[in-house]
A = this chain, B = another copy of it.
Amino acid sequence: MATLKGNAVIGQSGGPTSVINQSLVGVIEEAIKAPHIDKLLGARHGVRGVINDDFLDLERTPKELLDRIANTPSAALGSTRDKPDQKYCEQIFDKFRQHNVRYFFYIGGNDSADTARIVQELAEKAKYDLHVFHVPKTIDNDLRVHDHTPGYGSAARFVACAIMGDNFDNRSLPGIKVDVIMGRNAGFLTAASVLARQHDNDGPHLIYVPEVQVSEEKFLSDVDRVFTKQGRCLIAVSEGIVAPNGKTWAENVATELASHGEGSVMGLEKDKHGNLQLSGSGALGDHLADLIKSKLSTGGKKIRVRADTFGYLQRSFPGLISDTDATEARLVGRMAVQYSADPNNTQGSVAMRRTSNSPYKIETFLTPLATVAKETKHLSPEYIVDGHNISDSFKEYARPLVGELPRIGTFDELK
């Protein structure tokens, strides 16, 4: 088969990560060298940049600037929340045809993989040669087929460090502390809080992920049990925690708040897809703290109850990046272009497979877009213990992605 020659477009989509620009720079580095790619165009704000003809010529970026961009969190080309429908995809395809674009590299999650898939199918139907590659990124770590996704390791490192610090804060000034962690549908990021535990009585003492329905009763009785035993309790809760009625706790809070009069109160609002916006509001954490204060029986003793919502810091924090994550994010970007050099590879998502856990080793492979698109991968049930804890096997899975954590100590070790 003859090599397909032409221009390439690269875009970034969805929620940013700390290493999404590593993947971008990986694509740029390889594309500059690749004989099958003429010009590499960067679409500003993902597919929106494509349909608006808003492109950057990336090949004139000096190496020194590329190095700094690789280390900069969040999408340097700009991102988008647009989820293209068929018509939107047709517009994308038209633009590609106009610009003789033969390669499309799209960095994103499962929605982006789906967009890539639709555009590729349109091209196929029109008998226009277009090769389409999805480069994975998501802090949620929820892509099927992929062992894990770039962006997750650094976000998980942030969560592990934050919970580690908060565990000592909570030891130092005992009470009950709720920490709300990102993850609407998948609990991988919240589960990473377990890595913070280095001593027997270290928190997080309770971990709730969206994969398990939790009732108010169970939640309160768990907290009561831990607090009675330890005199303190650190709780890691996913923003997507689900109640027995199948709705998220956040939705239930929003309904309750709305009944007080206002449609949008305490930062809670719905997006255009009708999903309740979970991040960027402290409402769920505050609700959980209020719930504990009002319903936990403490024998009249006033307990210090606080909540923090980690929010956007988790996904865009510079200076605390997992080395493994940064390296792998760069690699999947580079591999996307390398795979594209083979004319037999007409489409696919660049995935990682773990070939060894100790020492940790991975290899990349190309998986069809349809295997990654749309659907979400969930935390495996074997990782979840009693509905409020995370297993050691998960620690083994996550540790190499997060990297070495700070070495800490307590005077309890003297005993």
Contacts and interface: CB of A to CB of B under 8 A. Distances in A.
Contact of A293 (B264, B286, B307): B264
Contact of A166 (B293, B316, B319): B316
What are the 10 A-B residue pairs with the smallest beta carbon separation, nearest first?
A282-B282, A280-B306, A68-B409, A74-B168, A308-B311, A165-B316, A267-B286, A72-B408, A318-B406, A266-B286
Residue of A71, A80, A309 most packed against chain B (CB within 10 A): A309
20 contacts: A56-B414, A60-B414, A65-B409, A69-B409, A69-B410, A74-B165, A74-B172, A78-B171, A166-B312, A169-B315, A262-B290, A267-B307, A280-B305, A281-B282, A281-B286, A306-B312, A308-B312, A310-B313, A318-B405, A318-B406
A76 interface: yes
Nearest to A311: B308
A239 B313 CA distance: 17
A198 B266 CA distance: 32
Contacts of A77: 411
A50 to B, nearest CB: 16
Contacts of A60: 414
Given A308-B280, A413-B65, A290 B264 contact: yes
A193 interface: no
A407 B68 contact: yes
Given A264-B293, A266-B290, A307-B267, A162 B317 contact: yes
Contacts of A56: 411, 414
Contacts of A283: 266, 282, 286
Given A56-B414, A169-B316, 18 more contacts: A18-B165, A67-B409, A71-B406, A72-B409, A72-B410, A75-B172, A157-B319, A161-B320, A165-B312, A165-B317, A166-B316, A262-B290, A281-B289, A282-B286, A282-B307, A308-B312, A310-B313, A318-B405
B306 A282 contact: no
Interface of A: 12, 15-16, 18, 42, 56, 60-61, 65, 67-69, 71-81, 157, 161-162, 164-166, 168-169, 171-173, 177, 260-262, 264-267, 269, 279-283, 285-287, 289-290, 293-294, 305-313, 315-320, 405-411, 413-414
Given A61-B414, A409-B69, A173 B319 contact: no
Contacts of A16: 168-169, 172-173
A161 B293 contact: no
Nearest to A161: B319
A79 B166 CA distance: 14
Residue in A71, A289, A319 whose Cβ sees the most chain B Cβ within 10 Å: A319
A73 B166 CA distance: 9
Nearest to A281: B286
